[in-house]
Structure 1
Amino acid sequence: MLKPYLIALLTAIPGSVTSAQLSHDDTLHQASPESVGLLPAPLHAMQINITSYEKPANYGASSYNEIHPIQPSSAVIVAHNRAIVSRFAHGKASLYASVNGTTLPPSQQEPAHPDTIYDLASLTKLFTTIAALRQLDAGRLALNATVASYLPTFAAQGKQSITILMLLTHTSGFAPDPSPPLYDPVYNSVAERRAAILNQPLADPPGSTFTYSDLNFMTLGLVLESITDTPLDELVAEYTATLGMHDTFFNRGNVEHLAVYSRIAAQEFQIAALGGDLEPVRPQPVRGTVHDENAWALDGVSGHAGLFSTVDDTAILCQMILNNGVYAGVRVLSEHAVDLIFHDFNARFPGDAHGLGFELDQEYTAGPMASPKTASHTGFTGTSIVIDRPSNTFFVLFANRVHPSRNWSSNNIVRKALGYWVAKALGRDVAFP
């Protein structure tokens, strides 16, 4: 059930939903696994298994160090047929006093909670995708239109044929990151950095290859701002606020001590981990300002990174997609737009299946739950979401695996393990990844 203040918020939005419409059974609710046909034992085992990755251990891969946990904390939600069947948090949202793993005194360590706010990193791309799909529904954006038709200066350096679709499917030909990085001192202002995004050269001919690139979504964010005359953070807030996602936000201006600072998970001791003169000078560990340095250089707001959220809020977004664009009686996307999330536009690039914004059929994210109609994405900080259309199931994992250093581990093993236990709860005979 929606909380009273969220009902008040939704009913106050012009053209939105009335109180009577909120009786629709399209919202999330807590329920037992058995009540929606799931096996409870795997979900119980899942919680024990996932939290074990927050302890030092050897997980069978050379990249994992026996003295390092995979991630210091996690928050998880699993839902099936609109029922939240597992919701928990474990570990420490703030644990370390230095990049080398010295822990804080116990009295200063902070536990993670289900409402802990995490830096989403590249999950921001999904929220930018939703903003783009809304403009597609409104007729202001076309997938096969060129980027240059919206931003003429983008056409320089052979980019005149790049389309919006190429940005959304990482087939534009861009290198993974801008060069020089946007936080390089060569740039004197955010305006110069934004201009540099549009002036980036290509690494490959447009449409010739799949290369995951932050530049695609940096560019898409600028397109959306141009066609709407609205800042990207406001475009995202338009629909997240309508959905009652009150803990989802960009930190515009890189404000160092937000009102919700104590609820935000600590990230990396970035300067110590990477060294060099280019790293942004800010309090360490990074906490509350966006971990991604390029997003930080763009004043905290970019199409590729910058959002903060909770698993509870992000669960609403996932269920809206499974509801074919509607949540709590509010239509956010058309059914056609949602279908485009689950359509593979990259069939010519085997192994890199991609709907609009979302990856498809990716075992490293979804484990045994991966399928051609399973949309997912990860974030560098340790976050991931998986939306499985065939089974009407989603699961969200938020973690701060870069605390205290990005060099310690990848938490893909945790993502795959979560997919395994969800599959087992659905009664599938699958092997542990």
Structure 2
Amino acid sequence: MGKRILTYFLLASTAFLNVQFLNSQALKSDLLTYANPSAVGMDSLYIHAKVDSIMTMAIKEEAFPGAQVLVAKNSKIIFHKAYGFHTYDSLQAVGLTDIYDLASVTKIIGPLPALMKLHDQGKLNLDAPFSTYWPDWKNRRDKKDLSVREVFAHQAGLIPYIIFLQDVMKKNGSLKKRFVRHQPNDKFSSRAYDNIYIKDKFKKKIYRKIKRSKVSDIKKYKYSGLTFLLYPEMISQMTGTDYETYLTQNFYAPLGATTLGFKPKTKNYPNNIVPTELDTLFRHGLTKNWVHDENAALMGGVSGNAGLFASATDLAKMMQMYMNYGSYGGKRYLSEETVREFTRVQYPDNENRRGLIFDKPELNNGELTLADSYPAPSASPESFGHSGFTGTFVWADPTHELVYIFLSNRVYPSRTHSNIYKYNIRSAVQEVFYEANVN
């Protein structure tokens, strides 16, 4: 009798362990690996011919000096290719491991995962007043009752932007010594560039000007980047951990996204870092290794609106985790419920396409032409992502199991270069991967 019980126990235990092993292998199957497009039912020749054609034209028309495109389908990277050079002198070819200034893509790769995790933990109520978590707004009649949901969905009526660079520059273009020094000291330790240090208390001036900014009485979709300058401090206060440390420990390091971070000049990456703009106003030279966005620079290079740098493959890991609704490689980073809520259109009745911080397709996107659509006509309503001013773009489409990463420095040599928009390059390339399905 005892032997039979022991045998039964051993068989049951073995079966349980086998199930656990198979489950763990299934979970790990969402790790990104490389494969040919044909392995996931896509036309490889069509993809390469079409994307090469679009990118060659874009470089010829000076939409950007160079770029790279990465696409993953069904957890397999089926396309990763570099085009052109870092600058128009054609000296440094774009490499697949190059690091780019992500600009506003930072918004969904930096503060967003931290805010989602806080929501998961019951520490952030989407329908509570934003002033609950940023008490500085509690005494502002026009801001104290704005909900977190309204703010995250760009539905709160906040103004789009404040140019804080005007506060540190004189009318003749020189920098105010009150706020800027060329050597660090105990009051000027916040580094904006190689030889530019911002007064540490300047952040308080930024917070104050945001607090005093106007709020529209009309509640409709109006993109605003203001609160993204507040999120690093807000996240640090709510977690008890430094903002960048929190992101690295909870997301970037466990994902294996080793190039994701702020202030790459200080990180000693072996990767080449692609330059952005020839800045004649603030930095007086080619902006490289430091954030392009001036507001993020005045925050010391660590912000919620911009400041992150990364390689295409590390960005793909983050977007794959989002597309899997919070899990990657057998590890759950965020609850499925939270990711679904944040990637859902919040105010469709107000003609607002936005999710919570995530961007979404136009509400009637499938009916539009390539020229009028955003991002690409075939992107599903469930898809989401974000674009960046420097020429970056990331998008995840759970319906088609497609992750799309586009990295460029279209602001070189100047931000006035806008052919990336004129020719709708990023959407045109993205659409190719929907057209290439042969199944």
* TM-score, with structure 2 as normaliser: 0.80
Q: 2:203 aligns with which of 172, 178, 193?
A: 193
Amino acid at match of 1:219: L
Decide which moves more: 84-93 or 408-417.
408-417
Distance 1:110 1:156 in 2: 53
Cα distance, 1:153 vs structure 2: 1.4
Report if the CA contact (8 A) 1:122-1:304 is conserved: yes
Cα distance, 1:392 vs structure 2: 1.1
Report if the CA contact (8 A) 2:231-2:304 is conserved: yes
Q: Which residue of 1 aligns with 2:227?
A: 216
1:67-110 C-alpha deviation (Å, 9 max, x unpaired): xx1011111111111111111111112x24xxxxxx3xx5xx11
Say if 2:112 is the partner of 1:112: no
Q: Over aligned residues, Cα RMSD in angstroms? A: 2.6
Decide which moves more: 317-326 or 146-155.
146-155
Report if the CA contact (8 A) 1:359-1:376 is conserved: yes
Distance 2:331 2:268 in 1: 29
Decide which moves more: 358-367 or 212-221.
358-367
1:28-427 equivalent positions in 2, closer than 5 A: 28-57=32-61, 69-93=62-86, 95-96=87-88, 103=89, 109-127=91-109, 128-157=111-140, 158-178=142-162, 180-181=164-165, 184-185=168-169, 188=179, 189-200=199-210, 201-205=212-216, 208-238=219-249, 239-251=251-263, 259-260=268-269, 263-271=272-280, 275=281, 279=282, 281=283, 284-350=285-351, 352-362=352-362, 365-412=374-421, 413-427=424-438
Distance 2:298 2:360 in 1: 30
Cα distance, 1:22 vs structure 2: 6.3
Alpha-carbon distance change, 179 to 374 in structure 1, aligned in 2, over 3 angstroms = same
Alpha-carbon distance change, 162 to 393 in structure 1, aligned in 2, over 3 angstroms = same
**Per the alignment, in what secondary structure is the counterpart of residue 202 of structure 2?**
helix
Distance 2:204 2:98 in 1: 31
Alpha-carbon distance change, 53 to 198 in structure 1, aligned in 2, over 3 angstroms = farther
Cα distance, 1:321 vs structure 2: 1.3
Decide which moves more: 116-125 or 257-266.
257-266
Report if the CA contact (8 A) 2:58-2:420 is conserved: no
Report if the CA contact (8 A) 1:168-1:217 is conserved: no
Decide which moves more: 401-410 or 258-267.
258-267
Cα distance, 1:266 vs structure 2: 1.0
Cα distance, 1:226 vs structure 2: 1.7
Cα distance, 1:242 vs structure 2: 0.9
Distance 1:337 1:174 in 2: 25
Distance 1:33 1:191 in 2: 52
Report if the CA contact (8 A) 1:190-1:297 is conserved: no
Distance 1:33 1:290 in 2: 35
Alpha-carbon distance change, 404 to 257 in structure 1, aligned in 2, over 3 angstroms = farther
Cα distance, 1:373 vs structure 2: 1.1
Distance 2:158 2:166 in 1: 15
Distance 1:25 1:256 in 2: 35
Alpha-carbon distance change, 335 to 54 in structure 1, aligned in 2, over 3 angstroms = same
Alpha-carbon distance change, 257 to 343 in structure 1, aligned in 2, over 3 angstroms = closer
Amino acid at match of 1:393: L
Report if the CA contact (8 A) 2:58-2:425 is conserved: no
Decide which moves more: 28-37 or 186-195.
186-195
Distance 2:127 2:72 in 1: 35
Decide which moves more: 399-408 or 194-203.
194-203
**Per the alignment, in what secondary structure is the counterpart of residue 168 of structure 2?**
coil
* TM-score, with structure 1 as normaliser: 0.81
Q: Which ranges in structure 1 are unaligned for 5 or more consecutive residues? A: 1-17, 58-68, 97-102, 429-433
Distance 1:417 1:150 in 2: 40
**Per the alignment, in what secondary structure is the counterpart of residue 366 of structure 1?**
coil
Report if the CA contact (8 A) 1:366-1:376 is conserved: no
- What percentage of aligned pairs have identical amino acids? 27
**Per the alignment, in what secondary structure is the counterpart of residue 71 of structure 2?**
strand
Aligned residues: 378
Q: Greater CA radius of gyration, 1 or 2? A: 2
1:4-19 equivalent positions in 2, closer than 5 A: none
**Per the alignment, in what secondary structure is the counterpart of residue 237 of structure 1?**
helix
Alpha-carbon distance change, 332 to 207 in structure 1, aligned in 2, over 3 angstroms = farther
**Per the alignment, in what secondary structure is the counterpart of residue 216 of structure 2?**
coil
Q: Which ranges in structure 2 are unaligned for 5 or more consecutive residues? A: 1-20, 170-175, 180-198, 366-372
Say if 2:18 is the partner of 1:25: no
**Per the alignment, in what secondary structure is the counterpart of residue 67 of structure 2?**
strand
**Per the alignment, in what secondary structure is the counterpart of residue 79 of structure 1?**
strand
Distance 1:326 1:204 in 2: 37
**Per the alignment, in what secondary structure is the counterpart of residue 385 of structure 1?**
strand
